[in-house]
Structure 1
Amino acid sequence: MRKLVVTENSTIDGVVELAGGWFSPGDTDPDVDRSDVLGALEQQRNAADALLLGRASFEDMRGYWPKRTDDTTGISAYLDSVNKYVVSSTLTEPAWENTTVLSGSLRTEIEALKAADGKDIVTTGSISLVRSLIAEGLVDEYRLFVYPVVAGKGRRLFDGATGVPKLRLVEERAFTSGIVLLRYRATAGWLPDRGFTGSGAPTAR
């Protein structure tokens, strides 16, 4: 069974999507060494052979990365070559190579992907999709790259959640830039007293 991994950039106050801008490990501030972060992302890419996205995040990436002929991070080449899966009921023509549109039941589509042969399935950005995956108990692992930044406001991963899965910290890694990777694995069950009534629950790993 393949793992479904959610990987997100986060501020220290838990914001994973900022209005009007974003912070990226590919930023080129000459005073900040992010080579170790890029190395961690490369390890993640090497362990995965599928990228799962919501429609909006897919269209944002499609409009940006294929045009980056000067990219030195390896991200652009990876996104062109990796098998991409877009969850959408409206997108009919993805217009990006190696892309498949998933328009059926979310649980059915993702369970089929996880049951197929292959490496990890990674999803990034796609906050609405990620929240649905969490509610269905389909996420096996969370990798949060926490930046030393306070946003004050913005979308958070578990905002509005009716249930929060139990998680076990399996890795904590600090980088020279001040970014910290927190890697959590989903365990069986949900945190109590949240009134969760969804159809799924994480299985023990």
Structure 2
Amino acid sequence: MRRLTAGLFSSVDGVVESPHLWQFDSFDAELGAGMGAMISRVDTVLLGRHGYEEWADYWPRAEASDPFGAFINPVEKFVASRTLSGELGWTKASLMNRPLEDFVRALKQTDGGDIAVCASISLVRQLLFAGLLDSLMLMVHPVVAGTGRHLFEPSDPVTRLELQELTTTSRGNVLASYALRPETSGE
């Protein structure tokens, strides 16, 4: 079975939206290496409509020397959307042909490398709470963003996680990977 992963940049106060507005000087080589290790195992990406539209507008025009552009442009991409239709304009991008959770369950049963959720806070949340996300990496930058969307909402259920891996970088970033904690009786 293929693994489903997600990685989100986060501020210390939990903001995961628009990290380009607040991560500036904390991005370092160790963080880049952690991201590189994560994407080296990925051969399929899941995007929401909003993330797809932003990224499809930017990444195809990125410089060829950009490591993330070299990854994201040729990789297979599936987009979850209720409003897009027809052929998508970005290389190897197509719409999911059934509801998100059903699509992901079936995709995880196919052959291939890891599947990564990118550029979609709502997809990460939905797949985590559905029990389909195998690893959630939070890349916490040493900054208080103040405003912006958080990954979790006050109405979310109590959800126990287990730490899979933890790394701290020279500029104070914390890379923490979590999985849903397996249910055990008596808790």
| Fold conserved between structures, TM > 0.5 | yes
Structure 2 unpaired stretches of 5+: none
The number of residue pairs the alignment matches comes to 183
Return the alpha-carbon distance in structure 2 between the equivalents of residues 102 and 115 of structure 1: 15
Q: Kindly indicate whether residue 153 of structure 2 is the aligned counterpart of residue 159 of structure 1.
A: yes
Q: Kindly indicate whether residue 127 of structure 2 is the aligned counterpart of residue 133 of structure 1.
A: yes
C-alpha displacement of 1:43:
0.8
Work out whether residues 11 and 143 of structure 2, in 8 Å CA contact, stay in contact via their aligned partners in 1.
Answer: yes
Q: 1:73 to 1:188 in 2, by over 3 A?
A: same
Q: Kindly indicate whether residue 13 of structure 2 is the aligned counterpart of residue 13 of structure 1.
A: yes
Q: Which has the higher helix share?
A: 2
Work out whether residues 49 and 84 of structure 2, in 8 Å CA contact, stay in contact via their aligned partners in 1.
Answer: yes
C-alpha displacement of 1:23:
4.2
What residue identity is the alignment partner of 1:85? F
Work out whether residues 22 and 143 of structure 2, in 8 Å CA contact, stay in contact via their aligned partners in 1.
Answer: no
User: After TM superposition, which residue ranges in structure 1, 4 or more long, deviate above 4 angstroms?
Assistant: none
Q: Partner of 1:198 in structure 2?
A: none
Q: 1:33 to 1:48 in 2, by over 3 A?
A: closer
Work out whether residues 169 and 184 of structure 1, in 8 Å CA contact, stay in contact via their aligned partners in 2.
Answer: yes
Q: Kindly indicate whether residue 140 of structure 2 is the aligned counterpart of residue 146 of structure 1.
A: yes
CA RMSD across the alignment:
2.1
TM-score with structure 2 length normalisation?
Answer: 0.88
TM-score with structure 1 length normalisation?
Answer: 0.81
Q: Deviations over 1:83-122 (max 9, x none)?
A: 1111112212310111121142222101011111111111
Return the alpha-carbon distance in structure 2 between the equivalents of residues 161 and 96 of structure 1: 35
* Percentage identity across paired residues of the two chains: 36
**SS of equivalent to 1:40:** helix
Work out whether residues 7 and 124 of structure 1, in 8 Å CA contact, stay in contact via their aligned partners in 2.
Answer: yes
Q: Partner of 1:195 in structure 2?
A: none
Q: 1:95 to 1:160 in 2, by over 3 A?
A: farther
Q: Kindly indicate whether residue 163 of structure 2 is the aligned counterpart of residue 169 of structure 1.
A: yes
Structure 1 unpaired stretches of 5+: 191-205
Q: Partner of 1:90 in structure 2?
A: 83
Q: Between the two structures, name the one with larger relative contact order (CA 8 Å, sep ≥ 6).
A: 2
1:111 to 105, 109, 112: 105
